[in-house]
Structure 1
Amino acid sequence: MNERESRAWRGLIAVTQLLPAALDARLQRDAQLTHFEFGVLTILHTMRGPAMRMTELAEATNATLPRLSNVCSRLEKRGLIERSPCADDRRATNVGLTTAGRRALIHSIPDHIATVRSVVVDALSEEQLDALADITDTIIERLASLDDAAPPPAASRTAR
């Protein structure tokens, strides 16, 4: 790599390592949630219907089933979600948000948005935000093309 390429690569790696840690620290302090747990609760909150299959939730969160299962166990112990057998397929498990989970998510959203604004959005101009969205879309598409059998990550399916 030349210096320009190396600088861009090192910057991307630093952001992918530092940003999740910063979001986790703030969410842990303010809402006793990790950023991943916040994402799980958000997806469950925005879904249609009372529950979704674990496999669908894993896809939507870009997580493996074992990781998601561990996180769901923690959330279930805290009363934030509930799991139940799927009526259509006894091998599958459904996950739904509880009232306490909905309350915890809604309580955590304003502080989380303030953190995201402070750390990322307010630090960039409108042009830089557009460029960041284009850059991440391009990288996500490239990552999805590495395995044509896999659906694109959830982040690339969200509207800007």
Structure 2
Amino acid sequence: MSEPRWLDATQQRDWRAYVDGSVRITEIMDRDLKTRHGLSVSEYEILVRLSEAPERRLRMAELAENASQSRSRLSHTCSRLESKGLVKRDSCPNDKRGVYAHLTEEGFAALERAARDHVEVVRTFFIDVIQPEDLEAIGRAFTAVMKRLGAAPTG
């Protein structure tokens, strides 16, 4: 069995900074969205993805891929959003097995309200503390990561 390619001290430091920072910022975003708008980060992400889609709707399979959730988890999350009146699910007219998730007007309004606060959290804890050239490097780095993972970058 071959020896693992261990991280050196600098790589380990940077990896840990990424892991710890991404976990903490996600916790802060989740807490803020829940407190102010009654939405989790995963619910917010679904609303964003639907708002950006043509006719504000996507097939559930495509939404699961775009929102980085398993189909099972997405189904549960969409059920919560449906119960809040923010998302509606419909059968695909040309594919009996397919289901669309559709952002309702109420869902779009909720997203617009949440986005105003959410962007401030993103700015305060991420954008405003990173030098522009470092932010560009992060964008390049995670575009490469997404490419390696086989997913096209979004946004």
TM-score by length of 1: 0.88
Matches of 2:78 and 2:44, distance apart in 1: 11
Given the alignment of the two structures, is residue 9 of structure 1 paired with residue 15 of structure 2, yes or no? Answer: yes
Greater strand fraction, Structure 1 or Structure 2: 2
2:4 counterpart residue number: none
Alignment partner of 2:50 out of 44, 58, 62: 44
Output the CA distance in 1 between the equivalents of 2:18 and 2:148. Answer: 15
Q: Distance in 2 between matches of 1:35 and 1:24?
A: 5
- C-alpha distance after superposition, 1:114-139 (max 9, x if no partner): 11000000001111111111121122
1:10-159 aligned within 5 A: 10-144=16-150, 152-153=151-152, 156-158=153-155
- How many pairs does the alignment contain? 149
What is the deviation of 1:143?
2.3
Deviation at residue 8 of structure 1 after TM alignment: 1.1
Q: Structure 1: how far apart are the matches of 2:117 and 2:154?
A: 25
Higher deviation after alignment, 95-104 or 69-78: 95-104
Q: Cα deviation per residue 1:14-67 (whole Å; 9 max; x = unaligned)?
A: 123212111101111111111111110111111112532101111111211001
Cα deviation code 1:50-103 (max 9, x no counterpart): 532101111111211001000000000111111111111111111101111111
TM-score, scaled to structure 2: 0.90
* Rounded Cα–Cα distance in structure 2 between residues aligned with 1:131 and 1:17: 20
Gaps of at least 5 residues in structure 1 are 145-151
Give the unaligned 5+ runs of structure 2: 1-6
